[in-house]
Structure 1
Amino acid sequence: MSSETAGTPPTGSETPPAASFEAPADLVVVADPQDPVAVELAAYVTEQGRSVAVLDVFDAAQLFTVTTRAGTATVDPPVPLVLLLPAPPERRTGFDAEFQLGECFAQLWAVAALTPAPVVNRPAGTLVAGRTTRSAAVTGRRAGEHGNGELFSHAYPRPGDPEGEAFWVEDLGTLRAGRWPERPPGNGPYRARWTDADPATETVVVLGGRGWRCTTADLDHLDLEGRSVAAATALGLDLAALVWRVTDGTATARLVHAEPFPALEQLRMVWLGLGPRLLEVLFP
C-alpha cells in the first residue's frame, strides 16, 4: 500500500498520474480456491455472463494498490469483491508466515473498506466477521436479540437455575465442549450455557437487506426473516446465516448463532432467491 501527498511539483515537472491496474475479472472472490462456497459462487456468476477470479489472501493482496493523495484514498482496480476469508490459524505456525498473513489481511481490509466498488461483507471497525464474537450471548445482544445467558469462569462451573435440558461447558483453551458433569479436555477457563438436548432450529440466510428461511415450517408469526435482516445489519454483516432456536412449541425464537461465512448447504437451500440478489448487490 503506497501513500503520497500532493504538493507543488518542482519547476519543469508534473505530478505523475497514479498507475492503473486492470482487474483480472468482473468479480474477485477472496477465498481458498478450493472453498466450496467460492467454487459454487464463481460457477453461478460465470453462468450469468460475468468473469470471476477466485484468489487466496496472498494473491488478492498483491492485486490491489491503495494510494492516498491530499487525504483522498484511491483503490485500483475498483472491482467488486466477495470476502470469504479463512480464519487465521489459532496457533502460531511461524513468525514470518504469521507476519506475512497479517500484512495481507491488513491490505485487504484497507482495500475492502475504501474501494467504491460493491463489497459483500465490507469491513468496518472490525475485520470481516462484523461484530460477531465466539460468545453467542454477546453476539445476540449486539444484534438486538437476547437469548440464554452465558457463564464464564476460571474454575470448572456448576449449573444454576435450569434454562434448558442440558448444561454445556466449553474449555476455551482447547475449544472442546462437554455436557455437564462431563469435563471437556483442557484446564480452562470455561464458557457454559443451558440448551436443549435436541433443539428445534430454523436458519435464515441474509444478503443485502433481504432474508430467506431455509425451511417451509409454519413460522411466519415469528418474522424470522425481518428479525434476521435487522440482526445482520446491527452486526455489520451483508451476507450471513442466522440460526434461531424455536422454543415453547413455536411460540418464541431465540438467536443462538450468527455465521458470517455461511456453509454451502445453507446457501443452496435459498439459492433461488439468493442468487439473483447476489447479482443485484455486486452489479447494480
Structure 2
Amino acid sequence: MSSDTGAPPPSDAPADLVVVADPQDPTALELAAYVTEQGRSAAVLDVFDAAQLFTVTARAGTATVDPVVPLVLLLPAPPDRRTGWDAEFHLGECFAQLWAVAALTPAPVVNRPAGTLVAGRTTRSAAVTARRAGEDGNGELFSCGYPRPGSPEGEAFWVEDLGTARAHRWPERPPGTGPYRARWTDTDPATETVVVLGDRGWRCTTADLDHLGLESRSVAAAGALGLGLAALVWRVTDGTATARLVHVEPFPALEQLRMVWLGLGPRLMEVLFP
C-alpha cells in the first residue's frame, strides 16, 4: 500500500477473474474452469502471489486499487500453530494487503471483507455462530474439565477436545487434555444444506421443506455473518416441522456447490461480470 503523488502503476491483471485460494483447492479450480468455459479467463493465486499483484494507492484522501479485477476469496485459514515469526509476519502482511484490496476495489468481490477477512463472523462455536446469524441453535457447553451431559436436547452427547479438534460420543473421551466443547445431537439427524451466493439461496435436495423457508433464512443468516458465498446446514426436527441452524461453512466444499450448480453457476457469472 502506498501514498504518493506519482503516476499510478499500470494495470496488469493476469486474467478476467482472480480466485484467491490454495492453488490445489478443488473448489477454486472448478470455479476457474467454469468461468473459462463461459468465455472468461481466470487465475487461481495463493495469498502471497495475490497480495503482490495489487497496489493500493492513497491520494488526496481517496484510495485506488490497481488492477481492477473481480475477486473470489476462498482463503485458507491461518495455521493453528506458529510456524515461525518471519513466516507469520509475512502471512499477516499479505492478509492485510488483500483485506485492503478486497474492501476498497470497485470490482465485484465474492466474500468481500467487512469486519473480518477469513470467515466472516463465524466461529468454532455453532451456538455462537447461530446467534450471530439471528437463529436459535442447540446449546453448547464449554469446560476445562471433561463435561457431563445435562438435560437431554437430543439422542447423543458429543464432546470435542478443543486442543486436538477430535470429538467422541460421551462417555468416550476424545484424544487430548481439554478444554472441551460439548453439545447434544441426534444419532442420525436429518439435515438440509443451502448454498448462498449474495441474495440468492439454493437447497441441495428436493425434499418437501418449502414451508420452512430455508432459502430466505439462509440468505438472511449469511448476510448477518458477512458472507457472500456460504453453505448452511440445517437440522430438521419434529418430523419436518422445525429446522435449526447447526453449521455454517464459509468456504463450501466442491460437492456442495455441484449439487446446486445449475442455479449457482449462471448467478456467479452475473455477480462477477455485471
TM-score by shorter chain over 0.5: yes
**SS of the residue aligned with 1:130?**
coil
Residues 25-64 of structure 1 show CA distances to partners (whole Å, capped at 9, x for unaligned) of 1100011111111111111100111011111111101000
**Shift in Å at residue 198 of structure 1?**
0.8
Residue in structure 2 matched with residue 52 of structure 1 by the alignment:
42
For normalisation by structure 1, the TM-score amounts to 0.95
Residue in structure 1 matched with residue 3 of structure 2 by the alignment:
3
**Shift in Å at residue 18 of structure 1?**
1.6
Residue of 148, 151, 163 corresponding to 1:161: 151
Residue of 113, 120, 123 corresponding to 2:113: 123
**Aligned-partner Cα distance in 2 for 1:54–1:147:** 36
* 1:129-168 mapped onto 2 (5 Å cutoff): 129-168=119-158
**Aligned-partner Cα distance in 2 for 1:16–1:205:** 45
Residue in structure 2 matched with residue 34 of structure 1 by the alignment:
24
* 1:120-269 mapped onto 2 (5 Å cutoff): 120-269=110-259
Residues 142-191 of structure 1 show CA distances to partners (whole Å, capped at 9, x for unaligned) of 00100111111111111110000011111111111111111111111111
Give the paired residue count: 274
**Shift in Å at residue 101 of structure 1?**
1.1
**Aligned-partner Cα distance in 2 for 1:57–1:41:** 17
**Aligned-partner Cα distance in 1 for 2:38–2:207:** 31
Residue in structure 2 matched with residue 102 of structure 1 by the alignment:
92
**Shift in Å at residue 128 of structure 1?**
2.8
**Aligned-partner Cα distance in 2 for 1:16–1:242:** 47
Give 2:262's aligned amino acid: L
CA contact (8 A) 1:163 1:195 kept: yes
CA contact (8 A) 2:70 2:108 kept: yes
Query: Sequence identity of aligned pairs in percent?
Result: 88
**Aligned-partner Cα distance in 2 for 1:220–1:24:** 43
**Aligned-partner Cα distance in 1 for 2:70–2:58:** 20
RMSD of equivalent CA atoms:
0.9
**Aligned-partner Cα distance in 2 for 1:127–1:42:** 21
CA contact (8 A) 2:76 2:118 kept: no
**Shift in Å at residue 251 of structure 1?**
0.6
**Shift in Å at residue 268 of structure 1?**
0.2
Residue in structure 2 matched with residue 43 of structure 1 by the alignment:
33
CA contact (8 A) 1:208 1:277 kept: no
Structure 1 runs (4+) deviating above 3 angstroms are none
For normalisation by structure 2, the TM-score amounts to 0.98
Instruction: For structure 1, list consecutive stretches of 5 or more residues without a partner in the other structure.
Output: 5-14
**Aligned-partner Cα distance in 1 for 2:156–2:3:** 55
**Aligned-partner Cα distance in 2 for 1:25–1:130:** 26
